[in-house]
A and B are shown apart, each in its own frame.
Chain A
């Protein structure tokens, strides 16, 4: 067991991620730009828009903030995939792979690092949203939201890991971003309730794992959700477990060359 789960290696992989992240100040600020402007302009622009089932005392800014938080987590987590492709391009992946460390430990270290940066960005966003006008309902709600944040980050870090394991360079990654990530976030109901969609699109929404993430975050932060909490939680947990398995499997097959 000690050989498979190497705590020191996991720790140093995480530590490296932290150092790189904290040194890239422009990345931290840059990653907040898009969600901040989304929140500010959508929130004020649609101020009097009361989407579907949402109670009248919840304004659009409060409706959309949990959705944008989910996008921040999703995009932030996918950066792990890009980081691996960078490592491959600059040869550092070989330095990691030639060390006497199991692939599982490498996956765990990567996941820990990617989740931490994504969650950090999530918290920064909550801070900004709070400043712009997000009302937080209760402490238990925040704890619920935190659980969903962790699950979303874990799922998408491993999705990034899985995709980057199948790729040799950066070229294909923008394709993935645009054709996988954008539909996932538009179908998730982050920006508007999915009741607005025709039935066949709504079906796609219900198989979109991020839909349950957004719904759970809404429950936590503004106390409103479409589905019961247990359903959101189990669906997301299922997806997360599947992604962890897939990410670890595909990464273990990676050819170093």
Chain B
């Protein structure tokens, strides 16, 4: 049995299709990452799997339970950490966990021992008696992760687990996530738009854009599909340069950025002199050339035709525009 299995899962809001025909299988014990820009449909996808939002079309099973017909069974088997904080800041850390445990029908002795365990797992044992309004953003996030684990879920959903956290806190949260995947054998499905996060944590990554999953594979395999080295060249006249490299047989792919061109090539080091020669032949002076291995960002560029970083702003604006058109705040 797969931890998660979806077939043709689709969600439409009026004219906007937020999630389009997603077929996905997540194995037990995996850390699966959905990587995509804001507004790609990641949160909507997770909301459907967690029964908070009804799919327009398609089916899905979470730990064997149908998300339409067996909502309570699905809810029992999943833990959720929402993108925005969902804690009661007038209660203490322990009280938030106790509230959760009782909502999930745990018995008193189980509650007490489990609260101790999960607090320990996220390193908040000392702070358990404090009101949440006195917690920092990172501490709240850790408590939410602990709470998601309280009722021994089979699958834990983390929606943008490190959004808005500083790099150091982000790094700590990564450690906790890896630790609990190992110790609790819980399957984890997370969404992120941070490349490093997907690369660092996930056993497999699905790249999602405009509601469709474009490719699913391990981070290494994704990077290897490009199979090439990347040559970044800079010059004053990029137009002429783009045309020049476009006609060279050793250049497999040219991508244009604001101040540079990125060329996909084999054996990058050997192509540096060739690049310089080609530029000279066309009367263009290169200001810099560098060689590097592909990153997930390049993989993302390859599959979506745009960089996630520059996409971030425009996509957000686009979604805002679409939201305004439909007069609702859904994402």
Contacts and interface: CB of A to CB of B under 8 A. Distances in A.
11 contacts: A8-B105, A11-B102, A20-B88, A90-B85, A91-B82, A91-B84, A94-B52, A95-B82, A99-B75, A100-B71, A100-B104
Contacts of A91: 82, 84-87
Contact of B102 (A8, A92, A257): A8
Nearest to A96: B103
Dominant secondary structure at the A interface = helix
B23 interface: no
Contact of A92 (B50, B86, B98, B330): B86
A256 to B, nearest CB: 5
A49 to B, nearest CB: 43
Given A98-B75, A257-B47, A92 B88 contact: yes
Nearest to B78: A98
Nearest to B103: A99
A28 interface: no
B44 to A, nearest CB: 9
B100 interface: yes
B62 to A, nearest CB: 12
Contacts, number: 78
Nearest to A95: B86
B257 interface: no
A91 B87 CA distance: 7
Interface residues of B, number: 31
Interface of B: 47, 50-53, 71-73, 75-76, 80, 82, 84-91, 95, 98-100, 102-105, 147, 329-330
A256 B46 CA distance: 14
A100 B86 contact: no
B105 A257 contact: no
A246 B50 CA distance: 27
Interface of A: 3, 6, 8-9, 11-12, 15-16, 19-20, 23-24, 90-101, 168, 256-257
A60 to B, nearest CB: 40
Given A6-B105, A95-B100, A16 B72 contact: no
Contacts of B99: 12, 15-16
B76 A94 contact: no
Give me the 7 closest cross-chain CB pairs, A-B, nearest first: A91-B86, A12-B102, A100-B75, A99-B103, A100-B72, A95-B86, A94-B86
A156 B90 CA distance: 25
A168 B327 CA distance: 13
A206 to B, nearest CB: 40
A16 B99 CA distance: 8
Contacts of A11: 102
Contact of B95 (A19, A96, A100, A256): A19
Given A12-B102, A12-B103, A91-B82, A98 B51 contact: yes
A97 B71 CA distance: 12
A8 B108 CA distance: 11
The interface centre, meaning the residue of A3, A95, A96, A101 with most chain B CB atoms within 10 A of its CB, is: A95
Given A6-B105, A8-B102, A11-B102, A92 B87 contact: yes
Contacts of B72: 3, 100
B102 A100 contact: no
Contacts of A96: 103
Contacts of A16: 88, 91, 95, 99
Given A19-B95, A95-B86, A257-B52, 13 more contacts: A6-B105, A9-B103, A19-B91, A90-B85, A91-B86, A94-B52, A94-B82, A95-B100, A96-B103, A98-B51, A98-B80, A99-B103, A257-B47
Given A6-B105, A101-B103, A257 B82 contact: no
B53 to A, nearest CB: 7
B217 to A, nearest CB: 30
Contacts of A12: 98-99, 102-103
A257 B105 CA distance: 25
A24 B84 CA distance: 25
B87 A95 contact: yes
Contacts of A257: 47, 52-53, 329-330
Nearest to B72: A100
B91 to A, nearest CB: 6
Contacts of A8: 102-103, 105
